[in-house]
Chain A
Amino acid sequence: MRHILSILVENEAGALSRVAGLFSARGYNIETLTVAPTEDTTMSRMTIVTTGSDEIVEQITKQLNKLVDVVKVVDLSEGKHIERELMLVKVRAAGKDREEIKRTADIFRGRIIDVTDKSYTIELTGTTEKLDAFLEALDRSAILETVRTGVSGIGRGEWVLKV
């Protein structure tokens, strides 16, 4: 099963490699990983999407908590949450395709952020499924380049992840 882990880590050199190293050393999956400092500059927040049985995800959580640089770990998928991913797609857009691609981007609430006479670069935000669906909707051969940030997640309502 897919789980979204939110992790607060000390903003120390090497904290990221401790977390990434734990996953590779113990054979856990990382589907996506995002990390950036929080409003408290002494801490960074990571969002890791992983897959595994409940037992494995329980072990992952325990092992993460054992790392000295890790301040807090929460499995967002245990409660109501929101997840978003940002994608930039460069597509070939020439001639009659230009209008069709623009329409598709509009349907998905994407924004064209760069234009040449042969290409569009589209910015799209949403869940992983939505981004996948947008790529499906495009003509495969038109896609020149994609770059995705991986999932960022946050709990719904007034609950906050804090120290």
Chain B
Amino acid sequence: MELKLPPTVDSGETLTGAEIVIRCLQAEGVEHVFGYPGGAVLFIYDAIFRQKVVKHVLVRHEQGALHAADGYARATGKCGVALVTSGPGVTNAVTGIATAYMDSIPMVVLTGQVPTRAIGEDAFQECDTVGITRPCVKHNFLVRDVNELATTIKKAFHIATTGRPGPVVVDIPKDVSSQSARFHYPEKVSMRSYAPVTRGHGGQIKKALNLLIEARRPMIYVGGGAILGEASGEVTELVRLLGFPVTNTLMGLGSYPANDRQFVGMPGMHGTYEANNAMQTCDVLLAVGARFDDRVIGNPAHFSAGNPTRKIVHIDVDPSSISKRVRVDVPIVGHVKDVLQDLIAQLKATSQRPDPAAIAAWWAQIAEWRAKDCLKYNRKSDLIKPQYVVEKLYEVTRGDAYITSDVGQHQMWAAQFYRFDKPRRWINSGGLGTMGVGLPYAMGVKMAFPDAEVACVTGEASIQMCIQELSTCKQYHLPVKIVNLNNRYMGMVRQWQEFFHGNRYSESYMDALPDFVKLAESYGHVGMRIDKPADVEGALKEAFAMKDRLVFLDFVTDQTENVFPMVPGGKGMSEMILSEEL
């Protein structure tokens, strides 16, 4: 029997729990579910088999399912959905859930559970899913009654996608998925204990505007909240109206076009000299959907004490992000898009503008910092420089690809050298810093945008953490391009060991690497090994010309290249180590 298609949110039919799950997903407009079957979810998989609306993507490890759903959500702005079985299915998924949680990615994670009567008896493949995931979800539910299943799933989507987004787990015991109930999917849910704020306070916005107009050394600092809140249009309009410098964090890249002159680069541990100095010495800082985290401002005491007169305006949908690490002068709680719209409207309504002479002098100071050319690297080397590969990737893809990355040096080079002009094109794990996300992220993006170019910039250490997903790419014909910056080291670990641990490269050397070309080929993909700088561009062009093939480009790069600038851990953001090239 094939399940009927939506809209049938209240058909009066009696359905099994498993059928209800699928019908809820259909009602939510879910197109892809990333998952892996197992005992506790067999009824749900049976319901998936008997319909054609929701497409299931079978991964090779539950971690891959979570990352793929997460990547899908990051690229589309929709809610990602994953489905895993109980016990080890859940524990394997936890890394993916925590990754999404740290970056506030909307996801609904459906997990199988042992039958209700067996819960607590240490049953086969039982784990306390609600307990294990509690610290890394926005919320979670254990559904004990099939009559509450549909409403619970509705609540899960509502919570995951509103306010500050995040992953929500719905744990479904096997008997709940086999029992029957009348299907009713509520159009709306209201919860007295959950009512996220949307509009910002008008008075606070007025205060913020006054500070911005009076500023002489202003800086606009935009984080991932602007991407999640679809506010890049508003960010761009405000920045241009004011004529102020702007920086996008690792999570905010693309919210303001990186090719524009007013963009001063990324801030933080591997931020540009000009962005970090401007953040540190500005007199008014407008923070938009950002959280002053340790990888951005470094030591908060240095940040505050080094510039005690700086006024900070902070717009965020989550009140707990405000004044968490840094005391803020004008807090504005609300959706960044709405607040920026109000701010822009107030700015347009007044004839007051910042003092042009002061702003020009500030830009002259920034130009001086910029002239340092802090991202400079040796272009004459006989070895392939990783930065060069990313630059060429940018050129070959005309700056228009979706770039996923793993975690480490390659991630920073991708962030520094691929100039993102659009939001949701840069897909990486910023908060949790999860190695292994890159390939499943690319799968999720490619599922969402089959015609787009998708490249995973990775390293030989990270890629091996979810390498099994090459098989998923084969099954679903996902022709992503893997740009492996292979320096035979866990590069970022090696860099820290060089700088802070007396060159003792403890366990950071990747010995016994596979032949990635043969590995790719064994999965039915194309493998290429590139070891000369002169071959980089040609190889990339050749790879991207193969529209329907996954190509694994194994670039043999300079082993000792480091990421600069660098703010050492615990230091202030103006205390940068710069490249010897400068």
Q: Chain A interface (Cβ within 8 Å of chain B)?
A: 9-10, 13-14, 17-18, 21, 25, 55, 58-59, 62-63, 65-66, 68-71, 163
Contacts and interface: CB of A to CB of B under 8 A. Distances in A.
A68 B159 contact: yes
Contacts of A62: 319-320
B134 A55 contact: no
A68 B139 contact: yes
23 contacts: A10-B193, A13-B142, A14-B134, A17-B134, A18-B134, A21-B134, A25-B135, A59-B320, A59-B324, A62-B319, A62-B320, A65-B319, A66-B319, A66-B320, A68-B138, A68-B159, A68-B191, A68-B193, A69-B193, A70-B193, A71-B192, A71-B193, A163-B192
A63 to B, nearest CB: 5
Interface in B297-333: 318-320, 323-324, 327
B130 interface: yes
B194 interface: yes
Contacts of B192: 71, 163
Given A66-B320, A68-B159, A71-B193, 7 more contacts: A10-B193, A13-B142, A14-B142, A17-B134, A66-B319, A68-B138, A68-B139
Nearest to B164: A66
Contacts of B327: 55
Contacts of B159: 68
Main secondary structure of the interface of B (DSSP, over half): mixed
A69 B134 CA distance: 12
Contacts of A71: 192-193
B356 interface: no
Contacts of A163: 192
Given A58-B323, A59-B324, A68-B159, A17 B131 contact: yes
A80 to B, nearest CB: 26
Contacts, number: 37
A60 B9 CA distance: 40
A21 B133 CA distance: 11
Interface in B161-194: 191-194
Q: Point out which of A10, A58, A62, A63 has the most chain B C-beta atoms below 10 A from its C-beta.
A: A62
A16 to B, nearest CB: 12
B372 to A, nearest CB: 36
A25 B136 CA distance: 11
Interface in B71-129: none
Nearest to A63: B320
* Most chain A beta-carbon neighbours within 10 Å: one of B191, B193, B324: B193
**What 5 A-B pairs have minimum CB-CB distances, sorted nearest first?**
A62-B320, A68-B139, A71-B193, A62-B319, A68-B194
A21 B130 CA distance: 12
Contacts of B324: 59
A128 B142 CA distance: 38
A137 B134 CA distance: 44
A153 B138 CA distance: 29
A63 B139 CA distance: 13
Contacts of A66: 318-320
B367 to A, nearest CB: 38
Contact of A14 (B130, B319, B323): B130
Contacts of B130: 14
A17 B193 CA distance: 17
A137 B142 CA distance: 50
Contacts of A17: 131, 134
A47 B134 CA distance: 22
A114 B123 CA distance: 45
Nearest to B168: A68
